[in-house]
């Protein structure tokens, strides 16, 4: 059992959200199948047709608000509430980690429930009570310009502050848990190497449906559905406070 002094950093990806029924959005899905994701998730696409992009995001917001955190999200919350120093770095834009109760969640690719004014950069959030049935382009209450989803699109760079924070955190990490991500996208694909360079004794565990390019460098890769494998691993490896 790992002591409560163990510093844990977690990287989560679309596999964790998929177990809650949220599609990956790496490709388009459902109603949006006929579109190419490059026509919906780039700054160029938004400049060309903001209404179309917003319709796609309203659809996605609707899916995310109906989804519920699964056992993998809850296991992370239990680790944190048991007293471990735990930080989640997620590639997911949904808020399922927060809704499960995790308090230190950093969104590498932005957050779908936030919007940013394209002119004055004011940041606001959607209300959770919202129904997302509108197809209007939302407007800034400060300057009346249009708002965009506060997510990182293709052809955009990640927030340098979050990257800096992640690097520092990875260097002092004892245990790195990589959950539900078969394709770590640049620069996140460097994170495991940064953690390893920072700590010779780093233990790295990967949870995924299939082997990935990272599997050869992990302490152990555990294959299977993450909502099952991850909670099992947590209860065997860490001291979990009884609820
Ligand atoms: Zn504005």
Report how far ligand 1's centroid is from the alpha carbon of 63 (Å): 27
Question: Quick one: fold of 30-66+114-151?
Answer: SIR2/SIRT2 'Small Domain' (3.30.1600)
Neighbours of 215 (CB within 10 A): 15
Largest CA distance in the chain: 55
Give 143-155 as a 3 state SS string: CCCEEEEEECCCC
Report how far ligand 1's centroid is from the alpha carbon of 61 (Å): 22
Q: What are the tokens at 19? A: 């177990």
Helices 71-81, 226-237: inter-axial angle, 10-degree rounding: 20
Catalytic site residue from 73, 97, 107, 109: 109
Task: Please classify residue 208 by burial: count the beta carbons closer than 10 Å to its beta carbon, then call 0-12 exposed, 13-18 middle and 19+ buried.
Answer: buried
pLDDT at 133: 79
pLDDT at 26: 62
DSSP string of 85-143?
A: EEEEEES--S-HHHHHT-S-EEETTEEEEEEEETTT--EEE--TT------SPPB-TTT
Delimit the CATH 3.40.50.1220 region(s) of the chain: 7-22+68-109+158-237
Q: What proportions of the chain, in percent to the nearest 5, are helix, strand and coil?
A: 35, 20, 45
- DSSP state for residue 241 in the 8-state scheme: P
109 catalytic per annotation = yes
Considering the domain 7-22+68-109+158-237, what is its CATH architecture? 3-Layer(aba) Sandwich (3.40)
Report how far ligand 1's centroid is from the alpha carbon of 43 (Å): 17
Q: Tell me which residue has tokens 């599609």.
A: 23
Report how far ligand 1's centroid is from the alpha carbon of 145 (Å): 5
Surrounding ion ligand 1 within 5 Å at CB are 117, 119-120, 122, 140, 142-143, 145
Residue 61 near residue 127, CB atoms below 8 Å: no
Strands 7-12, 85-90: pairing is parallel
- Per DSSP (E only), the strands in the chain are 7-12, 85-90, 105-107, 110-117, 123-125, 147-151, 175-179, 203-208, 220-223
Report how far ligand 1's centroid is from the alpha carbon of 129 (Å): 23
Delimit the CATH 3.30.1600.10 region(s) of the chain: 30-66+114-151
pLDDT at 242: 75
Sequential pLDDT tens for the chain (243 residues): 999 999 999 999 999 999 998 877 666 667 787 888 888 999 999 999 999 999 999 999 999 999 999 999 999 999 999 999 999 999 999 999 999 999 999 999 999 999 999 999 999 999 877 778 778 999 999 999 999 999 999 989 999 999 999 999 999 999 999 999 977 778 889 999 999 999 999 999 999 999 999 999 999 999 999 999 999 999 999 999 876
Instruction: Give dist(CA 110, CA 171) in Å, integer.
Output: 23
pLDDT at 110: 97
pLDDT at 16: 95
């Amino acid at each position: 059992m790992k002591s409560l002094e163990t510093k844990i950093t977690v990287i989560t990806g679309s596999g964790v959200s998929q177990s809650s029924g949220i599609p990956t959005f790496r490709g388009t899905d459902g109603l949006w199948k006929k579109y190419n994701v490059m026509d919906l998730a780039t700054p160029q696409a938004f400049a060309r047709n903001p209404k179309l992009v917003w319709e796609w995001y309203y659809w996605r917001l609707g899916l995310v608000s109906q989804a519920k955190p699964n056992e993998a999200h809850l296991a992370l919350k239990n680790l944190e509430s048991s007293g471990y120093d735990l930080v989640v770095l997620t590639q997911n834009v949904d808020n399922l980690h927060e809704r499960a109760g995790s308090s230190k969640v950093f969104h590498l690719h932005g957050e779908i429930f936030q919007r940013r004014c394209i002119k004055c950069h004011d940041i606001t959030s959607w209300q959770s009570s919202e129904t997302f049935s509108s197809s209007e382009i939302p407007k800034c209450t400060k300057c009346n310009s249009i708002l965009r989803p506060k997510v990182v699109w293709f052809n955009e760079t990640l927030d340098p502050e979050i990257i800096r924070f992640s690097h520092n955190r990875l260097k002092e990490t004892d245990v790195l848990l990589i959950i539900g991500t078969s394709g770590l996208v640049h620069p996140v694909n460097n994170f495991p190497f940064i953690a390893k360079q920072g700590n010779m004794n780093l233990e790295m565990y990967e949870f995924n449906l299939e082997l990935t390019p990272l599997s050869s460098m992990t302490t152990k890769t555990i294959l299977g559905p993450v909502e099952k494998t991850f909670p099992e691993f947590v209860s065997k490896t860490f001291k979990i406070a009884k609820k």
